[in-house]
């Protein structure tokens, strides 16, 4: 009356159809760990590319009108994704610096009265030339090239 039923294991073909593999905890764990590993490796490779790629930190040159900055004044801007400051000396000379501290990438502030930069994260001080005066920063602030063309200052000009 009843026919004996043949058992079909996952992955075997029955009448030309294949049955899906059953999921196991081990298979699920392998998939999750494989995904995490692929994401981690991708992150490391992307970071290495950004570090080694030419011009990865630079951006398009920034133009600031000379009329916007009086002698002894400042102008703030963004260059290559980083905040920056353009200083105009009393003699009319221009200097541009990144406002990113070289210690832990905090944003530094400019004190025009003392003519120095201050990093509030760990009490780091830099002079008006970007050199370290005190605190934990290991290197001076990044200085950017400034070129005056006509009635504007161009930061990051090549």
More confident residue, 132 or 8: 132
| φ/ψ (deg, to 5) at 77 | -160, 170
Question: Could you tell me which residues are beta bridge partners of residue 64?
Answer: 153
Over range 123-133, report the average pLDDT. 93
18 pLDDT exceeds 70?
no
6 pLDDT exceeds 60?
no
The answer to whether the predicted template modeling score (pTM) of the entire model surpasses 0.95 is no
- Note whether 80 and 98 are within 8 A (CB): no
Q: What is the overall mean pLDDT for the chain?
A: 84
Spell 97-120 as b/e; 16+ CB within 10 A means b: bbbbbbbeebebebeeeeebbbbe
pLDDT for the residue 54? 54
- Give percent above pLDDT 90 in the chain: 51
pLDDT per residue over 141-152, tens digit each?
999 999 999 999
Q: Which of 4-13, 85-94, 136-145 has the lowest mean pLDDT?
A: 4-13
Q: What are the tokens at 41? A: 């490796």
pLDDT per residue over 58-69, tens digit each?
578 899 998 888
Over range 97-112, report the average pLDDT. 92
Q: What are the tokens at 49? A: 């590319």
């Amino acid at each position: 009356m009843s026919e004996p039923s043949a058992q079909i294991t996952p992955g075997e073909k029955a009448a030309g159809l294949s049955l899906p593999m059953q999921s196991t905890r081990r298979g699920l764990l392998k998939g999750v760990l494989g995904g995490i590993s692929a994401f981690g490796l991708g992150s490391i490779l992307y970071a290495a590319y950004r570090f080694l790629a030419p011009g990865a930190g630079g951006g398009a040159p920034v133009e600031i009108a000379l009329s916007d900055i009086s002698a002894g004044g400042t102008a703030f801007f963004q260059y290559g994704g980083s905040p920056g400051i353009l200083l105009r000396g009393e003699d009319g000379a221009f200097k541009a610096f990144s406002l990113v501290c070289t210690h832990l990438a905090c944003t530094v502030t400019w004190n025009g009265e003392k003519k120095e930069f201050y990093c509030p994260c760990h009490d780091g001080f830099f002079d008006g030339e970007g050199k370290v005066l005190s605190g934990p920063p290991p290197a001076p602030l990044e200085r950017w090239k400034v070129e005056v063309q006509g009635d504007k200052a161009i930061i990051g000009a090549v």
